[in-house]
Amino acid sequence: MHGPGALLRKEGEEVARLLDGIDRAPRVHMESSEKMPLADESVHLVVTSPPYPMVEMWDGLFEAWTGRGLDDPRFYAASHAALARVWNECARVLVPGGIVAVNVGDACRNAGGGFRLYENHVDVTLACREAGLTPLVPILWKKPTNKPNAFLGSGFLPPNAYVTLDCEFILLFRKGAPRKLPPKDLLRYASEMSKVERDGWFTQIWEMRGTGQTKDDLARRTGAFPDEVPYRLVRMFSLLGETVLDPFAGTGTTLRVATSEGRLAVGFETEPALAPALAAIQAPSGREVLGRLVRRYPGEEGP
């Protein structure tokens, strides 16, 4: 398995023609994803990084969304109940066998009487299960850093120190049984991964840096992830020409990556200031997508 290089050189013109026959112009909805104006079973893959409850930069968002303040003991549960409405919609619009990938981090915080861990990945998992999705093996995204660990609690003296949070979760869910696909689908074979990619991506621990910190408040509050995260997920769980949804589009990382990889990107975002950046995302032609793939897989020996 060395990727689709040989196939692309032989059938590239037909691959480009098929892609140009699909309207892949991104669909951006500047509205909440709690009730999406999308048809049932119209999305093949969901890739998103939602706001994380109990993380300070998103307190205001969840207070507005839930009508509860941080000092309300029901604030955390209400925040996940609000997110659950989006997961229910994702399950509705997903095709049978489609995948939901949610990048979410846990939070440590002094709130409600003492320091504790808020297990966001657990609550998202429970909500997605309740929505009818089947949990798959999650990915642990370890973020390396050059900074020394910021130890919490008693530091070097036992027993009151705390383990630091340096991993996030990429939770994976499937709607029902694995997808059934027609035989000899050219776009499926043109979407093939190389052995190096497959072996590196389908492992439970990913180690890559997150996006750099910014002083811009709006950009910081979007919680953007690096292109490599949606790139891998789009390649792993969707085919050329298929539809990828991000219900928390933010600055548009998932939409931009999915579009550049020959998919139809659909996104929802409620922050008006992000509309220009999302509107600027344009779909490449079939030939442009093909050219990128050919450069990626230049020969039989793979990338």
Per-residue pLDDT tens over the stretch 113-169: 788 999 999 999 999 999 999 999 999 999 876 555 555 666 677 888 888 888 999
pLDDT at 149: 55
The domain segmentation of the chain, as residue ranges, is 5-296
Mean pLDDT of 237-256: 98
Predicted confidence (pLDDT) at residue 272 exceeds the cutoff of 70 = yes
- Measured CA to CA, the distance from residue 74 to residue 98 in angstroms comes to 33
Backbone angles phi, psi at 279, to 5 degrees: -70, -20
What angle do helix axes 75-93 and 120-130 make, rounded to 10 degrees?
A: 40
**DSSP category for residue 269:** -
The highest-level CATH class for domain 5-296 is alpha beta
Q: Per-residue pLDDT averaged across 275-297, rounded?
A: 96
The phi, psi pair for 110, rounded to 5°, reads: -85, 105
Largest Cα span, the chain = 66
| Interval 74-94 mean pLDDT | 98
